[in-house]
A and B are shown apart, each in its own frame.
Chain A
Amino acid sequence: MKYIEGKTGPWEVVIGLEVHAQIISKAKLFSGADTSFGAEPNTQVSFVDAGFPGMLPVINTFCVTQAIKTGLALNAKINERSVFARKNYFYADLPSGYQISQFEHPIVGLGYLDIELENGETKRIGITRLHMEQDAGKSFHDQHPTKSYIDLNRAGVALMEIVSEPDLRSSEEVMAYLKKLRALLRCLETCDGNMEEGSMRADVNVSLRRPGEPFGTRAEIKNVNSIRFAGQAVEYEIARQMEILEEGGTIVQETRLFDSAKNETRSMRSKEHAQDYRYFTDPDLPPLILTKEEIEAVKASMPELPDSKKARFMSEYGLPSYDAELLSGEKENALFYESAVKSSTSKSTKLISNWMLGELFAVLNKMNLALKDSPISAENLAKLVDLITTDVISGKIAKDVLLIMAETSDDPEKIVEEKGLKQVTDTGAIEKIIDEVLSANPDKVTEYRSGKDKLFGFFIGQIMKVMSGKGNPGMINDILKKKLDA
């Protein structure tokens, strides 16, 4: 456990997260209206979503499956009976005057998520619950000086709220948790995890306490929409609360917003009146009953999760933990890597990992491309690595070939062939060039032989220059050494 040293003694940071994740589904949670982004206002709205009189909700069974799937991936208890409740409050983007959510009886109970920290340690973060609820509509404020306008396209889209235990202790842990959770949701295809578009957002509860003391008063930072911002908001909040506490002040339990431009959190204008949500069972919806068979069927359809994929990558491909973590964390990475390994003849699993995580990612980064848009296919990367392992080209030449591949998407064998980049592995030819270089530099040879070992590199350079880099480095090394030491 890490403590933060203040002026007056050590402080422990306590953080819990509530993540709202939009469930991937074609239709909304309780209606048949479309969920896709970017449509004209109010075109993806049914009478149910707009809260018209007498219109009733009927649950989308796929959203239920998605919640079960996510719950299972969080190692959580799936509740065979869960109940929808109404959360009552008035707001412009809430057409019925209540949000259908789950309160006392959520679909998913206690679970956990293991996160990896920078020091290589794994930490288990408790999951309190996961429940389903409706998203709200959107207000627009720019059309008119004294009016706002309401679009209900988002109203009724399914969300999962994933609540963690107050087990997080630093901004690093918060970011690791969010990254891990996002990768998990993406792997499951239950949420696209696009925080910028708002399909995943976090409420961050931060408090400080003296080690061993009960929990302090917390502040809730609402709707944080990037992992980096979550880290920054936590840092700011720790500093703010510590300053107040060390000066003998008290923390006000309140909702705050993170202003990413100013890199600070600020109190949301405190409401004149207290909220009272008056939760009660939604009489329009009987309890949601899941059978053991239904849960088992979802279990059977689960994809391999990042944690077990990582373990498999380490045992099956002999990868170190670092490589396995990077390759298994994102679904696309794992897919690319495994198809490269599959098509490779040399099965140089570690070398493929090196080339993918190193050279390929650097090139993509420079081109500002995601892996899924890579001009270099997994098969071609595997071929390139095979060319190295079979001594057809050197690693140095391979880097040049990779750059050409990035531009042309060509097969590396074709590039090597056309550009005549094949290594020279003919001993006679190499010896001939070495002899030429040595006889052109008699004084350097003398110096080397009298003990100036460093000149070995000079000879290699000269030889490579003459051979335009195509000489097999191992062979050149051996022959040169033999000749100089002779």
Chain B
Amino acid sequence: MSEHELDIKKILWLSRLKATQQEQEAFTTSLHQILNWVSLMEEVDVSSVEPIAGLIQAMPRREDIVNDGNIAEKILQNAPDKAFGMFGVPKVVE
């Protein structure tokens, strides 16, 4: 994995970020640095290890009660573009 394939354009697209050619090169360089550094992990055999995502407890649940909502004004108050009680975006073609 020392030669990390890195399709920077695809990663940028998936992240919805854009970058100039120069920025792309800079990102590629620093991403390579990071990937080279983390490749230290390769030396550990983890084939028999269960992954964990965090400290695990049983998940608490909520009752099926309507106790939220009816705050459209607050939901919309920070929106840069709003009309008709909704959020405005450039036309979405389906």
Contacts and interface: CB of A to CB of B under 8 A. Distances in A.
Direct contact of A and B (CB under 8 A): yes
Interface of A: 25-27, 31-34, 40-48, 50, 58-64, 88, 90, 92, 139-141, 143-152, 269, 273, 276, 278, 280-281, 283, 285-289
B17 to A, nearest CB: 11
B69 A33 contact: yes
B92 A92 contact: yes
A147 B90 contact: yes
Interface string B32-43: 000000000000
Contact of B62 (A44, A60, A147, A150): A60
A27 B14 contact: no
B68 A42 contact: no
A54 to B, nearest CB: 14
B71 to A, nearest CB: 7
A27 B69 CA distance: 10
A125 B61 CA distance: 33
A145 B90 CA distance: 10
Contacts, number: 137
A40 B72 contact: yes
A147 B61 CA distance: 38
A145 B91 CA distance: 8
B88 A149 contact: yes
A289 B58 contact: yes
A484 B88 CA distance: 88
A27 B63 CA distance: 9
Contact of A46 (B64, B65, B69, B87): B69
A289 to B, nearest CB: 5
A150 B70 contact: no
Nearest to B16: A90
Contact of A42 (B53, B54, B75): B75
B67 interface: yes
A465 to B, nearest CB: 65
A40 B61 CA distance: 28
Please provide the 4 A-B residue pairs with the shortest distance between their CB atoms, ordered closest to farther: A62-B64, A32-B68, A33-B69, A149-B86
Interface of B is mostly: loop
B63 A281 contact: no
A46 B66 CA distance: 11
The size bracket of the interface on B is: 35 or more
B6 interface: no
A444 to B, nearest CB: 75
A59 B16 CA distance: 29
Given A139-B92, A278-B14, A33 B68 contact: yes
Nearest to B69: A33
Nearest to A274: B10
Interface of B: 10, 13-14, 16, 53-54, 56-72, 74-76, 81, 83-94
A46 B71 CA distance: 7
Contacts of B70: 43-44
Contacts of B71: 45-47
B93 to A, nearest CB: 8
19 contacts: A33-B69, A42-B86, A43-B69, A43-B70, A47-B75, A60-B61, A139-B89, A139-B92, A140-B86, A143-B83, A144-B83, A147-B90, A148-B89, A148-B92, A150-B87, A152-B75, A283-B54, A286-B57, A289-B58
Contacts of A280: 53
A57 to B, nearest CB: 10
Given A32-B68, A59-B61, A90-B16, A149 B56 contact: no
A148 B90 contact: yes
Given A60-B64, A288-B59, A283 B89 contact: no
Given A43-B70, A289-B58, A149 B63 contact: no
B72 A32 contact: no
Nearest to B59: A286
A91 to B, nearest CB: 8
B85 A40 contact: yes
B14 to A, nearest CB: 6
A44 B64 contact: no
Contact of B72 (A41, A64, A273): A41
Contacts of A50: 75
A286 B56 contact: yes
B62 A61 contact: yes
B88 A147 contact: yes
Find the residue from B57, B62, B63, B70 having the highest chain A CB count within 10 A: B62
A285 B72 CA distance: 26
Contact of B91 (A34, A148, A285): A148
A61 B71 CA distance: 24
Contacts of A26: 64-66
B72 A43 contact: yes
B57 to A, nearest CB: 6
Contact of B86 (A41, A88, A90): A41
A461 to B, nearest CB: 64
A144 B76 contact: no
